[in-house]
Amino acid sequence: MDFGRSRDIISGLPEFLISHILSFLTTKEAASTSVLARKWRYLFAFVPNLDFDDSVHLSLGKKNPVISGEDYLEMINERNNQLSTSFMAFVDHVLALQGNSPLHKFSLKFGDGVVDRFRVIRWILKVLERGVSDLELDMHLKWKSSLPSKIFLSETLVRLKLSVDRGPRIDVDDVHLPKLKTLHIESVKFEQHGIGLNKLLSGCHILEELILEYISWCLWEFVSVSSTTLKRLTFCGELMQDENPISVSFDTPNLVYLMFTDVIADEYSKVNFDSLVEAHINLQMSEDQMEEARFSNSEGNLVANATDFIVGICNVKILYLAAYTLEVLTYCCEAIPLFNNLTHLTIESNPEVAWDSLPGLLKNSPNLETLVFKV
């Protein structure tokens, strides 16, 4: 190929290579190329990864001092509705252009504004039909019914991320996700919380990574994670509420990596981390428990009991402890177990939190090579 100095080289590339370049942009950025020249009008639609993000709306700019607060809000609403309408039209347009071609990734994010629930369901069903392997739904909207159950029966999904805070429930009946390797759940509402999660996990036979975020203990009574294939787990209970989880259980014998943030549960019915290599632990007492521990506990009784959990992680090689977790070791642990395999320990330090348990922990880590204090 002979390229002159000011020739338009990019338009001469094979279409699949142009689409490949566009796949490194968001769908919105790629779609702006539709107006470059005739050849480019539909090229952006050949990208097998789609992400539609309507969650960020530009402000209206400088507030006109003459408009009242109410009118301004109405203007914002009007504009948001217009944007939602054009957003839905855009998604329809791109999906129509793509027809039934194979689809790799589909990500849909929206927040405020009016979104037609039926259209959204149609989109989700369409992409499932096309064999999508990576599905991300980030929808925070008042939505009375549940997510389409077909999501949980996909033969092609490898990665699923659901963040549907104020949105639809997950009503899990049948779950069959034979290819799912990564599941990311952020503030979802199951029909029945702990049970719903169990049902979901039981249908994932090759799951390797599970991320559970913003588990609200007002709603969940118990959490139980059981999987022989799971290698990585990130678990974040909501900390700001003054509730302790009732029951937490982990039966994950092949887990290698754990990132854990939560308030101490009343009961740890099972803690099987036999293969755990690396753990990041931010286990805390509730506010009431902290007060009791620090100020009113004169008899030295355990304020809460995290022993089972701490014993469960004692085989790790690499450990990161949040400041509050040191406190847990002091006030909520019957005895600090032996951390025989521990070679690398990082402690987060906080002047408000006591280090009483640290000498005992170090004494029980006979093979420690590296100690890091994070300020």
Q: Write phi, then psi, for 280 (nearest 5 degrees).
A: -115, 110
Q: Is the dihedral of CA 117, 118, 119, 123 positive or negative?
A: positive
At residue 120, the 3 state secondary structure works out as helix
Which one, 6 or 298, has the nearer CB to another protein?
6
318 forms part of the interface with another protein (CB under 8 A):
no
72 forms part of the interface with another protein (CB under 8 A):
no
Of 60, 1, 8, 85, nearest in space to 39 by CA: 8
Q: Write phi, then psi, for 140 (nearest 5 degrees).
A: -115, 90
Identified binder of another protein from the candidate list 17, 125, 219, 302, rule CB under 8 A:
17
276 forms part of the interface with another protein (CB under 8 A):
no
57 forms part of the interface with another protein (CB under 8 A):
yes
Nearest-5° Cα angle at 362, 361 to 364: 65
Helix, strand, coil shares, percent, the chain, to 5: 30, 25, 45
CB of 26 to another protein, least distance (A): 9
Of 245, 179, 253, 182, nearest in space to 211 by CA: 182
At residue 302, the 3 state secondary structure works out as coil
Distance, C-alpha 296 to centroid of its chain: 38
61 forms part of the interface with another protein (CB under 8 A):
no
6 forms part of the interface with another protein (CB under 8 A):
yes
Identified binder of another protein from the candidate list 15, 34, 64, 67, rule CB under 8 A:
34
At residue 150, the 3 state secondary structure works out as helix
Identified binder of another protein from the candidate list 15, 66, 83, 137, rule CB under 8 A:
83
**Window of 80-88, 199-207, 222-230, 300-308 that interacts with another protein by CB under 8 A:** 80-88
Instruction: Show contacts with another protein in window 130-159 (CB under 8 A).
Output: none
Identified binder of another protein from the candidate list 43, 54, 130, 260, rule CB under 8 A:
54
What are 318's strand-pairing partners?
278, 344
369 forms part of the interface with another protein (CB under 8 A):
no
CB of 147 to another protein, least distance (A): 24
Distance, C-alpha 326 to centroid of its chain: 26
The tally of CA atoms less than 13 A away on the side-chain side of residue 99 is 4
Identified binder of another protein from the candidate list 20, 117, 169, 270, rule CB under 8 A:
20
**Window of 15-23, 67-75, 147-155, 181-189 that interacts with another protein by CB under 8 A:** 15-23
**Window of 12-20, 180-188, 307-315, 357-365 that interacts with another protein by CB under 8 A:** 12-20
86 forms part of the interface with another protein (CB under 8 A):
yes
At residue 121, the 3 state secondary structure works out as helix
CB of 229 to another protein, least distance (A): 19
Distance CA 190, CA 233 (A): 19
Q: Which residues bind another protein (CB under 8 A)?
A: 1, 3, 6-11, 13, 17, 20-25, 28-29, 31-38, 40-41, 54, 57-58, 83, 86-87, 89-90, 93
